[in-house]
Structure 1
Amino acid sequence: MADKQINRMIADTFLKLADSLETGAQAPRAVIALTAMGSEHGEAELYQAAAMAARQGIKVKVIGTQPATCPGVETVLIASEEEGHKALETLLDSGEAQGGVTMHYPFPIGVSTVGRVITPAKGKAMYIATTTGTSALDRVEGLVRNALYGIATAKACGVAEPTVGLLNIDGARQAEIQLQKLQNSGYPIRFAASGRSDGGAVMRGNDLLMGSCDVMVADSLTGNILMKMFSSYSTGGSYESVGYGYGPGMGENIDKLILIVSRASGAPVVKGAIEFAAELVRGDYKSVFAAELKAAKQAGLDALFAGCRAQKQAGEATEAVVQPPKEVVTAEIHGIEILDLEDAVQALWKEKIYAESGMGCTGPVVLLAEAKVEQARSILIAKGYIGE
């Protein structure tokens, strides 16, 4: 027993020495807390993850029912998951830990998590914004916020100018329009280009595999599915073996660094989440997030959201529109949300332009006569159905 204590003291001394050499005496390494109870693979799997992270030079406090025996890992003993979450809150509130990794957390509305995965085509890291939680009750507003959360997370982890793509889901086209407005008003967003031949910032399935962007914007339900696919596609789904977990809760309504893993997350993913947390602490994620939010608000973020809500309310009051005489429709206008498609057609009918709704290989389209395309585009841009 004495020999083990001496060996541990020696190991801890070397870890402290490494702190000083790596970060300087005034900047000690972050301490990351990990709740171990509740995993489908047992507590031992989480203790293994903590030991793996500690060997990478990260200090870990494991909240569990068994004492840890690995240098660099401390234990906070508890008897239940409820006690475990109280212990996590205490460690974070007291400053004994600067970040926490856990399997579930009741984030308030306005906060959602940004995951990080390894894309298979090139082994590139990609941030999925977002993967759990709800950024906003309005879908488009939520996607715009998700983009901001993803950008801030990537920047805090050292990606100086992250490229942003929007997964081709409901709301993506409208969110792209709002983000373009922010960009035009001075917010420095850098849009990615799809790897498909038609390019654009709206991403396809291929782009997920290729890692065509640094930040992939999606709603949290879609993002959650993506995280599960990326982390366990080689194991059959019961064991998440690759990546960094579901990421930190980002938003204005949270003052703690909480990262989420799944009950199916194995030691490699939990270790990745601990590393992710330590990166965010080192990168001063709070200051980075505050700077991004400030820049977006200076570019008119609040007014943009207010306009979206007003447009949505105005759109709820519909009126009967008479269909113009039919014409041969051979031209297409792309970039319209599937949920807005019929409204866009009605808007053109109201201006005496005959149009039909359709579905092209890249998504919804408005079909109309070639001679009416430019006039119709101007109308749809003015009404906010497509971007310029």
Structure 2
Amino acid sequence: MSDHAFATRAIHAGQAPDPTTGSIIPPIHQASTHVQDGIGGFRQGFEYNRGGNPTRSSLEEQLAALEGGSHALSFASGLAAEDAVLRGILSPGDHVVIGNDVYGGTYRLLTKVHAKWGVESTTVEMSDADALRAALKPSTRIIWVETPSNPLLKVVDIAAIAEIARAAGVVLVVDNTFASPVQQQPLTLGADLVVHSTTKYLGGHSDVLGGAVVFGGDRFYDDVQFQQFAVGAVSAPMDAWLTTRGIKTLAVRVRQHAENAQAVAEWAAGRPEFERVYYPGLASHPGHEIAARQMSGFGGMLSLALVGGSPAARAFTESTELFRLAESLGGVESLISYPSEMTHASVRGTALEVPDDVVRLSVGIEDAADLIADLEQALDRLG
């Protein structure tokens, strides 16, 4: 499928019609185990659902095709995918460098879970190449990049970081959840592995939990796959099928998400109630030029800093109607959240603490005029 356009791959990769019935949609293999043709005689390699399932395999083929990778693994959640990568690559005493604006769960996983097993981590401003080089140690094994970042939408030059990683003999992992493979292809820019919370744009309908790791080659695939099998955080057949279904409309959905987010960002940039608009599609964004170069669009996520500080941010967050107050992102419906006390509560008091005047928007695919009108009425309530 590599010679086909993205939208075509999203629909057809791993989705051959059922050979028995001709069903255009591959069936959900809702089975926990598979009959063997004699001891060790696995049919098409399937033995037990933790080790492999046909529905999950179809999704993994689809995921690899979307990111231009050689292999992919599908997990029960994004954090399960991240955990398997860390376990598969790191040993006690190893060191990880991460950005100073990443998902709170990623930071928590490193500092509260893996730190107990002797893994060290350092946060750094990833856009500062000198600071990144200075943070590297002989024990550094991974540079972990999130771009655009969550929730302040920082943009990192993946190709430039890849050069630093290669020179240091370090693995580059990129969390591509915010951009999605529609608008950014980290493996083509030099990343070694890509991780996703498939719960977000890939699933796209707020009805399934999942995660994925996509590999640029054979390196680390066996190590991470072993962790997946040994620990067992795999996606269930129904979850894999729902994610596959969501992916088929990914290209058209993300295009509309980005168009709506651009309209909301431009509206917000002209409102005096906002101190700052965090959206890489605005020319005023410090990472705009890099985003324009390495992305095919600017995504559906943006954050707003309110002039009135925390009280205004909290009141604004609780005053919208179409933007529903909830964690998560990437679904067709618009969501609003207060990161300081919601998605990023785990990083309060650290170098990653999110300013308490910031509100995060996941802009859905509703009519943009209706979304802006909803935000306007929320501002009106602030008085």
TM-score (ref. length: structure 1): 0.27
Q: Which of these two proteins has the greater Rg computed from alpha carbons?
A: 1
Task: Pick the structure with more helix per residue.
Answer: 1
More strand by percentage: 1
Instruction: Give the TM-score taking structure 2 as reference length.
Output: 0.27
